[in-house]
Amino acid sequence: MQGGRWFSIAACTVAMAAGAMAAGCSDMATGNDAAPAVGSPDDGTGPVASAPATTLPLTQTPQYVASNTPCPAGLPELGAVPLSEAAPGRAVTLVPYIDLAEATVMVFDIASVGGSDSSADGPDAGESGAGDPDDDGTPGGGFVGDRRGRIWRFAPNTADQVGSSFGAAVSTEPVADFSSNTAAEHDQGLVGMTLGPNGRLWINRTDRHGSSVLTVLTPTADRTALEGGYADVLEVSQTNAQHNGGDLLFDESGLLYVSFGDGGGLGDPRRHGQDLTTPLGAVLRFAVDTADSDDPGDWRLAPAPGNPDLGPRSDPHIWVYGARNPFRMSFDEPTGTLWVSDVGQQCIEEVNALALDEGGANLGWNSYEGSRRFVGDELADHRPPDLEYRHGRGLCAVIGGHVYRGSELEWLEGRYVFADLCGGDIYAAAVSPGTEPDDVWHLGVSTPRPVGFAADAEGELYVIDMETGVWRLTG
């Protein structure tokens, strides 16, 4: 979708409605020029270039042929059971929470108690740990961003506020605005947001030159705004405007996980997914070296202790590789599991539930799409997905969510809640890492263009929709 409003994977809706092959949904053909240099992290230990592109004409490459081959029979179906059949008497509703067009990212502020409006006082910025809700049970505020690179502060409306059907209000003006230096074509834009050490706000966006940039921002002492300065701590060059996805989050020990897609092109023509010299097509893991400084401009990202040694010239920041477009990630703290949803090519969507001792795992792309063979050599070390489903019937691009750990929908406890971009429907799967999913429930609710999820301090879930804003899942 050239210059479209939605991420390029949204083109699946149009393509499938027209009966077109799903291969055209999520990729644009790329030229045969060699890949540009891949940006290195600040410590200088990263890769210097990606593998050269093939010299074959585009239509003769194995990747192109495989991407335009009809999907074989027998691929796994999602097989979602309606909630009314799976759990009679149970129901999920979506309540409007934030009115923000083109919303892509959202995070609840763990260092904030929240308040009745966006100017309410919060605790000292040095607080950490799970933030407490307000006295009336309302979760604290946080930050929400749109695809263009603008960030607002939000705070829940209280019971005595009237005049709005939404559960939270955003600040009148953005508290940070990167729109003049954010590209927003295809899979670009502000695509990741999380909170890190000392309550800093971290974002992952595509700058106007097309590079993925990690930026650290500092909230004010009352947590209601952001200070003027910011620091870019990582830059990764992208080969084109596709598969720039890019989530980021911290684990309980303070290590930073960042995901990058393969850089685009039909079938990963540069084989970035299996190229260990590039950060593209991988989940990276970093230790944040603050150098005993409170200024993020002094911070550096180093390979995390325990990262796998993947051989000579390999990028030491890679934690797992073989990903196509790992657009969304989340941690399930009770099980110590990292959930990575990887958008597929033309046949299969996949979700990987990775234990934190699985560093070095090869998720398979582009030798595999899910558990289906795609191109190139068979891999002896392929780590198969924990959940996969074929395209069709409104399914084309998995939007990863969270394992539910709230209390309002206690019957969803332990289930992984996710969506699919093209149909917009929301699902919950019982998945144990390394085993086949027990079952998948269709929760009976949907949004027009879901692009992510967020969890508040109480474990309740919110779906982020690029057309209609943020919605809260409740009973």
What single string gives the DSSP state of each residue in 175-242?
Answer: SEE-GGG---STT-SEEEEEE-GGG-EEEEEE-TTS-EEEEEEEE-TTSSSEEEEEEEEEEE--SSSS
198-253 pLDDT, tens per residue?
A: 899 999 999 999 999 999 999 999 999 999 889 999 999 999 988 987 899 999 99
* Count of beta carbons in the 10 Å neighbourhood of residue 287: 17
Rounded to the nearest 5°, which phi and psi values hold at 388?
-145, 155
Instruction: Say which residues have a Cβ less than 8 Å from residue 438's Cβ, sequence separation at least 6.
Output: 430, 431, 432
- The pLDDT confidence band at residue 393, using thresholds 50, 70 and 90, is confident
What DSSP element (H or E) covers 64? helix 62-67
Rounded Cα distance between 233 and 14, Å, is 38
- The pLDDT confidence band at residue 60, using thresholds 50, 70 and 90, is confident
33-50 pLDDT, tens per residue?
A: 332 222 333 333 333 334
Rounded Cα distance between 36 and 48, Å, is 10
Q: Say if residue 12's pLDDT is above 60.
A: no
Rounded Cα distance between 406 and 182, Å, is 35
Closest CA to 263 of 173, 365, 356: 365
What's the pLDDT score for residue 462?
98
Considering the domain boundaries, does residue 217 fall inside one? yes
Longest dimension (CA), the chain: 66
> Which of 130-144, 155-169, 346-360 is the least confident region?
130-144
Considering the domain boundaries, does residue 2 fall inside one? no
Residue written as token pair 């939000």: 154
What's the pLDDT score for residue 422?
94
Query: In terms of pLDDT, which residue wins out, 121 or 320?
Result: 320
* Count of beta carbons in the 10 Å neighbourhood of residue 36: 15
250-268 pLDDT, tens per residue?
A: 999 999 999 999 999 999 9
119-130 pLDDT, tens per residue?
A: 332 223 333 333
What would the DSSP string read from start to end of 250-312? E-TTS-EEEEE----STT-TT-GGG-TTSSTTEEEEEEEE-TT-S-GGG-EEEEPTT-----T
- Cross-strand bridge partners of residue 417: 402, 428
43-46: long-range contacts at Cβ-Cβ below 8 A with a sequence spacing of 24 or more?
43/300, 43/301, 43/302, 45/302, 45/303, 45/316, 45/317, 46/279, 46/315, 46/316, 46/317
Considering the domain boundaries, does residue 82 fall inside one? yes
Instruction: Report whether 403 contacts 415 (CB < 8 A).
Output: yes
What's the pLDDT score for residue 246?
87
Q: Say if residue 84's pLDDT is above 80.
A: yes
Q: H helices of 61-189, where? A: 62-67, 83-86
What's the pLDDT score for residue 161?
61
* Count of beta carbons in the 10 Å neighbourhood of residue 72: 10
Q: 3-state DSSP call for residue 154?
A: strand
Q: What is the CATH number of the domain that holds 390?
A: 2.120.10.30
Considering the domain boundaries, does residue 3 fall inside one? no
Residue written as token pair 């941690």: 331
Considering the domain boundaries, does residue 64 fall inside one? yes
Distances (CA, A) of 276 to 20, 268, 379: 34, 14, 15
338-388 pLDDT, tens per residue?
A: 999 999 999 999 999 999 999 999 999 999 999 999 999 899 999 999 999
Considering the domain boundaries, does residue 79 fall inside one? yes
- At position 227, the amino acid (one-letter code) is E
* Count of beta carbons in the 10 Å neighbourhood of residue 171: 19
Rounded to the nearest 5°, which phi and psi values hold at 67?
-75, -15
416-435 pLDDT, tens per residue?
A: 999 999 999 999 999 876 56
Rounded Cα distance between 354 and 332, Å, is 10
Q: Say if residue 14's pLDDT is above 60.
A: no
Which two structure tokens, joined as six digits, stand for 350? 């996949």
Instruction: Report whether 316 contacts 303 (CB < 8 A).
Output: yes
Instruction: Report whether 229 contacts 215 (CB < 8 A).
Output: no
Considering the domain boundaries, does residue 90 fall inside one? yes
| Domain count along the chain | 1
Query: In terms of pLDDT, which residue wins out, 163 or 400?
Result: 400
State the chain's mean pLDDT as an integer.
Answer: 84
Closest CA to 454 of 419, 421, 413: 419
Its domain, for residue 337, covers 8-474
Considering the domain boundaries, does residue 210 fall inside one? yes
What's the pLDDT score for residue 51?
40
Q: Cis peptide before 366, with omega less than 30 degrees from 0?
A: yes
